[in-house]
Structure formats: C-alpha cells, structure tokens
Amino acid sequence: MSQRPDDTAAATGEFLHDVLLDPARHTPDHPAVVEPAATGAPTVTTYAELTATVNAHAATLRALELAPGTRVLLEAELGAESIAVLLACSRAGLTFVPVSPETPPDRLRTLIDTARPALHVRAATGERTDLPATLGTARFGDGELTVERAPAATARRRHVPCVADPAYIVFTSGTTGRPKGVVMSHRAVTAFYRGMLAHRIAAPGDRVAGTSPLHFDFSLLTLGLALGSGAALVPVPQRLVRWPRHFLRALRDTNATQVTGVPSVWRQVLRHEADRLSELAHLRGVLFCGEEFPLPELRRLQELRPGMRIVNCYGATESMAATFEDVPEPLPADLERLSIGHAHPGAELLLRDGDGALVDAPGTPGEMLLRSPALFSGYWDDPEATRAALVPDPLCPESGQVVLRTGDLAVRGEKGELYFLGRTDSQVQINGNRVELGEVERRLTGHPAVTAAAALRLPLPDGGGCLAAFVVTDPSGGARQPSRPGAAEAAPGEDIAATLRDFCARTLPGYMVPAELRVVDALPVTGNGKVDREALAASVAGPA
C-alpha cells in the first residue's frame, strides 16, 4: 500500500487539533484567542484565522518529511502564535515538547539529549543561542513559520499518524535528578478533554484566561477548556501574572469571564488589589489546580466575588488532571479540607491502603489509584519509572490493564467524595510547581563543597510555601563552615548560599532554586535513619 507523505486524511480517530479546532466548523468568526495588548484593544484571532495559520504551518512541517511522532521542541510563551504551532504539530503528526524560554542552557541541553527532537521552534524574537548544529531550527511570527535550518529527514517507516502517537511530552521534575518526560498520546488527551468538558465549566462566549506558562500542562488543560468549549483563550503573559495590578488590567481589558491558575496567582491580588478584583465586571469563574488553596484566602476570594463559581481541579501531569469539584459557597465555618470530589466522567479513583488492600469506607485513608482512558503512555525513555507509576489494575490484575499510582493520599467522605491528605513521597508543590526534592538535593551535592543536602518545603505564614535546603559542607571543597557547631546557622554566609543558588540556577528552573539555604554541621536523622525533615523545618521556625 502506498501513501503520500502528506496523506493524513487516512488518519482516523480524534486528535488533539480535532477537538480544539472543531468550533471553526460552526463558529469560524468567533474569537479563539484574545491577547491583552500593552496599550489599546486586545488582539483577537478568530477560529477561522487560527485554523488557516495551523494549516499553513502544518504544510511547512510536512514538507520537512519527518516521521510521525518526531519531536519538535517548542520554546515559547503561551500565545496565539505558539498555539498555532502546537496545533500544526498535531495536524502534521509530530510530537511537541513545550519548554520555557527561561530554561537554563544546561537544562535545555539535557532535554535535547533526552528527547532527541529534530526541530527547535521559537518566536522570531527568541534569544536562544548555542543550539546543537544537528538540530533543525525554525521561528514563528506574523503568522509565518520559517524554517532556518532544515532538520535531517528522519527514517519514515510509516506515513499516517495514529491517535496512539504522542501528542506532546511535558518534562517535570524527576526523582533521579533528571527531568522526567510525561508522554501523552492524542487518545489520552482527547479522552481527558471529553471528561473535563462534561463538567460544563465554560461555554461559547466565555473568555478563559490562562495564567500558567506553556511548558506546564495546566496551560494545555486551559487550552482544552477554552477551545473545546467553543470559548476563547486569553493567554496572560507571565510578566503580567507576576504583577497583580497588570494582571487585573489584562483581565479587565480582555473581558475575561474565567481564570485558571495555581492558587498562588491570587495571593498578591487578594492582598494588594482587592478593590480592583471586586470591580471586574465580567469575571464569573475561577478554576485552580496544582495544590491546595489555603482556606482563609479562598474565603476572602468568595467575599470579594460572591456568586462566582470556583472549581477545585485535582490531578497530575500523568493524566493532565483527574477531578473537578465546585467549591461550596459559603465555605462552612468548621470546614477543615476542601473536597476534590470524584474522578471526571469516564475515569475512576480507587484508594489502596499500605497493605495493598482496596479501601472504600469513609474515613479510611489510602493512596489514590487512577483508572482512566486519559493516562499518560509512560515516562520518556524510562521504563523503570513507568513500571513504578503504571501498575496492574487491582480490580482485575489479570486483564493486563494498568492504573496510575498517583502518590497522593486521600480519604473518602460520607458520600464517597475524596479529600486530599498529602503525598506518600518527597514530591512537593512550590506555588503549584511540582518539585522532586531529590532532584534539588542531587544538584546541591553535585557542588564540590557540599557533602550532604536535604531540601524541603517550608510553609510560609501567608499561606504559601517556599523551597528550603540544608547543606553540610566540606572546607576543602571551598565552602565556609558553620560558625556554631551543632546548630543550623541563623544567617548563613551569604557567600556560600549565593554560590549554591547560582549553581542550582544553572541547571534548574527558578522555582527549584532554594529560596532559603542554610549550612548545618550534620543533617539530623530520625530513628530509622532517614533525614529528619521535621527537625530541620523546626530549626528554621524556632529560635536561632
């Protein structure tokens, strides 16, 4: 059977771009993307315009003759132009790997060595230098996708993309000290979108503001929520998200009706811009994900925006997300934890206790196992980690079906609803960003002056948390010893702290660089010989 290389018409099933560009068939003139402008009216891209750009880019990509599933590194912010590129990758049967333009060069190099992309795509204004000569390069801007250096053609064993092909790979923090690539197939991501859309969170006419950067899958969730509902996406640039007044102005100027983001995007807004928040005329919904929303902040948000629908979205990159639960209004005065509800339609969450038995009774905690058509395929090039995360379905191990071990503990309430209790391992969330403490510790001990390191999340009085690290140093490695033997230094020498922070920043994203760094004589250990993180945390809280 012969098929032309550009013959994707034979592909059947639902692909990422099929769900997201479907409104172009019914409402081509509706806005698909509304981008806040520095001054003046926002820039609107209609579904028809977006589709035309996607088709043109897909033709450019197909002309490169890359095999289906070939990786394309997309180094960009979330915006109409980058969305067109990722949809074009989907249409051309290529797998996009979103990365931040702020990725340190060494980390980008590791990602390139690991994911082995054929092409690197960035904005016309992108500043990245030192890309390996073996990598093809292209730039997007003004509706064009221009190939600067054509990639070497890949061996084409097949021509027709398939919904089992990876749609994208998102790299997250990994326990082994290397970033972990979560591979999501078209089949999985579209199943997730269908489950999420059944919650009817957005509708045509909505404008859904996304505050997460493109390289977090939360931005892809928001894209699915907006375009999958026939609504418009409002990508809020990171430089605006960081400044509450600019952020609120962007929401006002774009007439945003909904906002998605990690809870911490609201912290500064509630503190400094409460009046402006209550005056936003169109805002009627907030969806948060990534970590627990501190209850006092949530109450404040409800006070300022009575009647607004607030959705608690729980889940992990390995299935994009798993639950969508409306937050009750008002929050009961004696409420201790928010419910995360039940898995989205089409999926199911089980609880398994420490002995491996499934537990269902209210009040009995266990680890959540996700049964779902929206599970990731595996960790890129890491069969061992994949086997640890995708385990036989305890309901019917004989079937060969797998479920996701979430690593999250939960307990059921009287109606079977779930409450998140914490992690079973040393993964933490820092402002909604996933951090494997082991990856930070490995980096720190990679410095010649450091002989041991322990990282942890320190709760902050304002409801958030920061990343802290404790290090033991070796004078021959060039670092300063603590001045008071036997105790954590109250104020570590800025020299070593600054040196180690710089060292971390060379390979780790900003949120994985410890904000608090202390030199200690030795790491305290618990009775069973593990690092006693509680004692370390207490040493910061207690008197120096």
- Catalog residues that contact ligand ADP under the rule CB under 6 A: 172, 216-218, 289-292, 312-317, 321, 340, 406, 408, 420, 423, 429, 434
Nearer to ligand ADP by C-beta: 61 or 327?
327
Instruction: List, edge to edge, every strand of the sheet that includes 180-185.
Output: 144-149, 136-141, 119-123, 71-75, 95-99, 166-172, 180-185, 378-379
Q: Which amino acid is at 401?
A: Q
Minimal distance, residue 514 CB to ligand ADP, in Å? 19
Nearer to ligand ADP by C-beta: 100 or 254?
100
Nearer to ligand ADP by C-beta: 217 or 382?
217
SS3 at position 216: coil
Q: Dihedral sign, CA of 246, 250, 256, 259? A: negative
Minimal distance, residue 476 CB to ligand ADP, in Å? 39
Calpha distance 41→12 (Å, rounded) = 40
Minimal distance, residue 60 CB to ligand ADP, in Å? 30
Calpha distance 474→480 (Å, rounded) = 8
Minimal distance, residue 320 CB to ligand ADP, in Å? 6
Q: Which amino acid is at 434?
A: R
Minimal distance, residue 59 CB to ligand ADP, in Å? 32
| CA end-to-end distance (rounded Å), the chain | 75
Question: Residue for token digits 């902050």?
Answer: 460
Write down the H helix ranges in 203-336. Answer: 217-228, 238-241, 244-253, 267-272, 274-279, 295-304
SS3 at position 544: coil
Nearer to ligand ADP by C-beta: 35 or 367?
367
Minimal distance, residue 455 CB to ligand ADP, in Å? 17
Nearer to ligand ADP by C-beta: 140 or 218?
218
Which segments within 257-416 are labelled E, that is strand? 258-261, 285-289, 309-314, 323-326, 339-341, 348-352, 366-371, 378-379, 390-392, 402-412
How many contiguous H segments (helices) and E segments (strands) does the chain have? 16, 27
Minimal distance, residue 357 CB to ligand ADP, in Å? 22
Calpha distance 284→172 (Å, rounded) = 31
Provide the token pair at 285: 């919904």
Nearer to ligand ADP by C-beta: 172 or 185?
172
Nearer to ligand ADP by C-beta: 293 or 503?
293
Nearer to ligand ADP by C-beta: 64 or 428?
428
Minimal distance, residue 425 CB to ligand ADP, in Å? 10
Minimal distance, residue 218 CB to ligand ADP, in Å? 5
Nearer to ligand ADP by C-beta: 163 or 340?
340
